[in-house]
Chains A and B, each alone.
Chain A
Amino acid sequence: MVDFWQIIQNAAIEIVSPTTAAYALAALGLAIHFGYTGLLNFGQAGFMAIGAYGYAISTLTLGFPVWASVLVGLGGSVVFALLLGIPTLRLRADYLAIVTIAASEILRLVFTTNSLDAVTGSADGLSGYKNGFADLNPIPTGTYGFGPFTMNEYDLWLRIVGWGLVIILGLLAWQLMRSPWGRVIKGIREDEDAVRALGKNVYFYKMQSLILGGLFGTLGGMIFVLPRAVVPANYATTLTFFIYTILLLGGAATILGPIVGSIVFWVLLSAVSGFVARAQAVGWFPGMSSVQAGQTRFIIVGVVLMLLVIFRPQGIFGNKKELSFVK
């Protein structure tokens, strides 16, 4: 028999998991890029990889404390954004899309290459960088929470930091978007020449937006690797597209959208994969192997998301009125 209670419990865990928080952060960054500024950044995975590797390499190879490792990651992210933005932000929007998707792939391949094995760990990636973060934990050893949310002190600390970041950065983005700065940014999304004609330095604003959203992605990348290891294969383009899915699911030009979108995405993914795996094991799907069952979740989630985007294109929190004017 399929244990539905277990499936529900496993799915519930995802609501507060640090991975969900990491994706929410990256999606918030993408909301700033795509939803508010209209920048087609297809390299959010690259910004996340810089966060993950920047943190891990600084800690492992250079022996930096936590705060310095975080700063290295953020600094790397700003440099990456400048490298991408300087040549492309003066050009049409599609150039940024091409350059970002290529640059994030280049990053991933550089991190995978064997000649840098001593620093990046090549395809095996990096691990053992969590001690500094665990040492900062003020929570005494023990077991916390209830039901499916039972966890040890490290997991609780990680969740507090992850979701604390989501809340702080969410508030920061919310304040920015209701300020005159946000008005310029949204104006650029609608028509950058019109904004230019009103005396605003469009290039400068686009650069600020690219850097800011990138930093969100980088922090997301750091949270992402704290419950696991740094593995280069995680930063393929699929990661970027999952984040786009989350963004569109929640509503592109909203603050709550990317956060709730991330929760819905991960709960759905966990529930579907849990169900398919268990149903396959008890023989509900004759002729399906367990490997196939593992892949089926993406097919089902993909269909569900397609339906959502077709029937609720503005996302969960998007304004229906806004969409009625999109050509």
Chain B
Amino acid sequence: MSSSGGPSTRPVKTVDLHIGDSVPGVKKTNPIIVADKVKRAFGGLTAVDVDHLEIPRNAITALIGPNGAGKTTFFNLLTGFDKPDTGKWTFSGKSLAGIPSFKVARLGQVRTFQLTKALNLLTVLDNMKLGAKGQKGENMFYALLPWLWRKQEEENDAKAMELLARFKLDTKAGDFAASLSGGQRKLLEMARALMSDPTLVMLDEPMAGVNPALTQSLLDHILDLKKQGMTVLFVEHDMQMVSHIADWVVVMAEGKIVAEGPPDEVMRNPAVIDAYLGSHHDSDLGEDPNEEQAEHAMKELLHDDDKS
């Protein structure tokens, strides 16, 4: 796992996020999202069935779980890209149930996608400027009167270039987004989301398909978001990364929250190991050729900070 690297400096963890024992559905001192009885079924399959979940504010929360655990579906529900069968949830105290996705984004809760959605035939700079909020020139009639929005456009230009410089994409500003590498597109998507000055950034697998050389800088950028006072919720598979940067970890399996807590604690939770490796991983099945692999995976799961 050394290839995935780690953040350049050991991140400062935010602690004391919860009240009481860290069990699924534990109360948080200062939650930004509170979800209750959110349920979504596709035919007979219940993809998401979350009884109660609070996401702590000004912290980095990781949402982990095996494939098919319902992480992305839960993400889609929270951001209005999908509608739940039942349930309600609030964002900073405001109920979001039934609110369409574009309004959710305007409230300050922006997301990125698992399969990066760079707008290929727009330039990198145009991609960025699309992220800015409250643009007068986006009204069709104002669009015909450029003097009304030229100043705002220049401000957005400057802001976009500043963000691009931070993400080391400023030299690419005039290129089509399609010419970027996979990792650069992830960076662009994140930078674009920041154009709207969000309060909550939701990243769906920010590391998927990213070249190891870029992982480092992506991790630093995620940590940066917290430093700037934003809240981050992200879905991830890479355990090493999760334990490095997350302040809080929520584990989903088969649509339910099976565990949550600080990363080190969660990694040792038997429910988590069951979720990832199956509940019979330690029973003797005779000569199992997968035994060694399972053991290896376990070790990885229990990965300790000191080793890196």
Seen from chain A, the residues whose Cβ lies within 8 Å of a Cβ on chain B are 172, 175-176, 179-184, 186-187, 189-191, 193-202, 208, 212, 253, 321-322, 325
Residues A198 and B178 in contact in the complex (CB < 8 Å), given A181-B138, A183-B130, A193-B113: no
Tell me whether B122 and A183 are in contact (CB under 8 A). Answer: yes
B contact residues around A184 at 8 Å (CB): 130, 138
Is B31 in contact with chain A by the CB < 8 A criterion? no
Tell me whether A175 and B146 are in contact (CB under 8 A). Answer: yes
A contact residues around B178 at 8 Å (CB): 325
B contact residues around A200 at 8 Å (CB): 102, 130, 138
- CB B229 to nearest CB in A, in angstroms, measures 20
Residues A199 and B117 in contact in the complex (CB < 8 Å), given A180-B135, A181-B137, A212-B140: no
Partner of A176 from the list B113, B131, B136, B143 (CB cut-off 8 Å) is: B143
Tell me whether A183 and B126 are in contact (CB under 8 A). Answer: yes
Partner of B120 from the list A183, A190, A195, A196 (CB cut-off 8 Å) is: A190
Tell me whether A186 and B105 are in contact (CB under 8 A). Answer: no
* Residue among A187, A189, A193 with most chain B CB within 10 A: A187
Q: How far, in whole Å, are A176 and B111 apart by their CA atoms in the complex?
A: 28
A contact residues around B117 at 8 Å (CB): 191, 193-194, 197
**A-side interface mostly:** helix
- CB A188 to nearest CB in B, in angstroms, measures 9
Q: How far, in whole Å, are A200 and B137 apart by their CA atoms in the complex?
A: 13
Tell me whether A183 and B129 are in contact (CB under 8 A). Answer: yes
- CB A284 to nearest CB in B, in angstroms, measures 47
Partner of A187 from the list B81, B122, B195 (CB cut-off 8 Å) is: B122
B contact residues around A197 at 8 Å (CB): 79, 81, 101-102, 105, 110-113, 117, 193
B contact residues around A179 at 8 Å (CB): 137, 143-144, 146, 149
Q: How far, in whole Å, are A197 and B203 apart by their CA atoms in the complex?
A: 12
- CB B131 to nearest CB in A, in angstroms, measures 5
* Residue among A176, A181, A253 with most chain B CB within 10 A: A181
Tell me whether B110 and A186 are in contact (CB under 8 A). Answer: no
- CB A92 to nearest CB in B, in angstroms, measures 15
Residues A190 and B121 in contact in the complex (CB < 8 Å), given A199-B105, A199-B133, A325-B179: yes
Q: How far, in whole Å, are A200 and B103 apart by their CA atoms in the complex?
A: 8
* Residue among B102, B135, B179 with most chain A CB within 10 A: B102
Closest to A198 in B: B131
Tell me whether A180 and B138 are in contact (CB under 8 A). Answer: yes
A-B contact pairs, 12 of them (CB 8 A): A179-B144, A180-B136, A180-B153, A183-B122, A191-B117, A194-B189, A197-B117, A198-B196, A199-B105, A322-B176, A325-B120, A325-B179
* Residue among B101, B112, B113, B133 with most chain A CB within 10 A: B101
Closest to B133 in A: A199
* Residue among B140, B144, B179 with most chain A CB within 10 A: B140
Is B106 in contact with chain A by the CB < 8 A criterion? yes
Is B139 in contact with chain A by the CB < 8 A criterion? yes
Closest 10 interchain pairs by CB? A180-B137, A179-B143, A194-B117, A199-B105, A325-B178, A181-B143, A190-B119, A199-B106, A180-B138, A191-B117
Q: How far, in whole Å, are A200 and B105 apart by their CA atoms in the complex?
A: 8
